[in-house]
Amino acid sequence: GAGVSQTPSNKVTEKGKYVELRCDPISGHTALYWYRQSLGQGPEFLIYFQGTGAADDSGLPNDRFFAVRPEGSVSTLKIQRTERGDSAVYLCASSLEHRESSGGYTFGSGTRLTVV
Amino acid sequence: DAKTTQPNSMESNEEEPVHLPCNHSTISGTDYIHWYRQLPSQGPEYVIHGLTSNVNNRMASLAIAEDRKSSTLILHRATLRDAAVYYCILRDGFGGGSNYKLTFGKGTLLTVNP
């Protein structure tokens, strides 16, 4: 596609429920990143995929968070037993590779998750 | 990642130039200077990046101080659509460590007055 697509754009869920957030990167982009942005703050790194594998998941806050990218394209961020503190905008980005020659990353518009 | 310092907010008038400053006194020799902006309800958007020389593209210009301890993003003629949060980010460009990570601060909120 022309850009990074994230679905849904908004998600309201009850505390304790399970949610999945989807990211469709730009076709051909091998690198994919998830970030989380709380109100009034800059985005914070969660996880980086190179192809199908998670090269760095050090930003995931705890084991309730998990992400997959089984075929090296679409990625899903999964959150179990959601808590109110998980409420944020979850952003996905992709790039051809992570070296400088590829320029910048392309971000999606994000999924706004609200846990009530 | 080396840290950057930006003003919390700036104001400009439409069709006037805007100079957005960024200080990065602890920059290392392999750090590239990246700028992203984030419009309301959108994800961040790549603007420009550079290492030592000044850079120009269709969106903006990047002026880098000779000692690389500061840089300035220049919007030559601000429009209402340029109202956004602008982030200055350092990123190791030579594959060292976790250079794929972008470390965002709070950025500068630019307001453009009609």
Residue B104 has pLDDT above 90, yes or no: yes
Residue ranges for chain A with pLDDT beneath 50? none
pLDDT > 70 in chain B, percent: 93
**CA–CA separation, A54 and A47 (whole Å):** 7
The predicted pLDDT at position A102 comes to 53
Contact: B43, A108; criterion CB under 8 Å: yes
Contact B31, B70 (CB under 8 A): no
Residue B94 has pLDDT above 80, yes or no: no
- Locus of tokens 């003003």: B7
**Residue of chain A whose Cα is closest to the Cα of B46:** A104
| Window B:11-40, CB contacts with A under 8 Å | 32, 34, 36
**CA–CA separation, B3 and B22 (whole Å):** 10
Contact: B100, A91; criterion CB under 8 Å: no
Average pLDDT, chain B: 92
Query: Minimal CA–CA distance to B20: which of B79, B91, B107, B92?
Result: B107
Contact B42, A109 (CB under 8 A): yes
Residues of B in contact with A100 (CB under 8 A): 32, 49, 51, 91, 93-94
Task: Provide Rg for chain A, Cα atoms.
Answer: 13
Q: Which residues contact A39 (CB under 8 A, 6 or more apart)?
A: A88
